[in-house]
């Protein structure tokens, strides 16, 4: 995946960091036996996904490959296996 820069975008980093913070909050409150805090942490996890998708829609994610590039990559893969 390193060759394709998978996940190396501001949208991916921001979404994952927010979700990680939410998991940490939920974990602390789960150990503390506080259901309200746990669900608040889970809401932060969902917020991370929403923020990441919003940033991707705003153009801060990976651009989509053109159809020609996808087709060329498929042909090259078939040529290597035959």
Q: Quick one: tokens of 52?
A: 């990441």
Q: What is the pLDDT of residues 17-63, one digit of tens each?
A: 999 999 999 999 999 999 999 999 999 999 999 999 999 889 888 87
Q: Please state the pTM of the whole predicted model.
A: 0.72
Res 32: pLDDT: 95
The rounded distance, in Å, linking the Cα atoms of 49 and 18 is 8
Tell me the three state secondary structure of residue 33.
coil
User: What are the structure tokens assigned to 16, written together?
Assistant: 């994952």
């Amino acid at each position: 995946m390193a060759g394709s820069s998978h996940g190396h975008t501001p949208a991916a980093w921001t979404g994952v960091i927010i979700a990680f913070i939410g998991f940490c909050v939920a974990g602390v409150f789960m150990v503390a036996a506080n259901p309200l805090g746990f669900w608040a942490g889970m809401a932060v996890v969902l917020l991370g996904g929403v923020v990441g998708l919003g940033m991707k829609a705003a153009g801060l994610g990976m651009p989509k490959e053109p159809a020609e590039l996808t087709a060329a990559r498929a042909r090259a893969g078939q040529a290597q296996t035959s």
